[in-house]
Amino acid sequence: MSDLAQRFTEAQAQIKPVTGLAAEVLLELYGLYKQATAGDASGSRPGMLDLRGRAKYDAWASRKGMTADAAMTAYVATVARYAR
């Protein structure tokens, strides 16, 4: 496992027990995680009545074109800001 992949895995474990994060932070982490693990957003955007699904999809789709390494690096940096 590469050093970046190891730091990414550790960041996931570090942020999991953190509570009280703003919705914007959670969506940022979600989008970065999905981009790092699955690549560009796929499927269709959820309908207007699925607010949560739509927000998550938009957070992921906003990362379109970002490489997995860049997404992992951004994820690790975001976790470092909020997990103390």
DSSP string, 11-76: HHHHHTT-----HHHHHHHHHHHHHHHH-S--SPPPPTT-HHHHHHHHHHHTTTT--HHHHHHHHH
Total domains in the chain come to 1
What pLDDT, on the 0 to 100 scale, is given for residue 31?
A: 98
Read off the pLDDT of residues 16-65 as tens digits, 9 standing for 90 and up. 999 999 999 999 999 999 999 999 999 999 999 999 999 999 999 999 99
Q: How many angstroms separate the CA atoms of 84 and 61, rounded?
A: 28
The pTM of this model reads 0.94
pLDDT at 84 over 80: no
Could you list the residue range(s) of the whole structural domain that residue 71 is in? 3-82
Give the DSSP letter of residue 1: -
Specify the CATH number for the domain of residue 19: 1.20.80.10
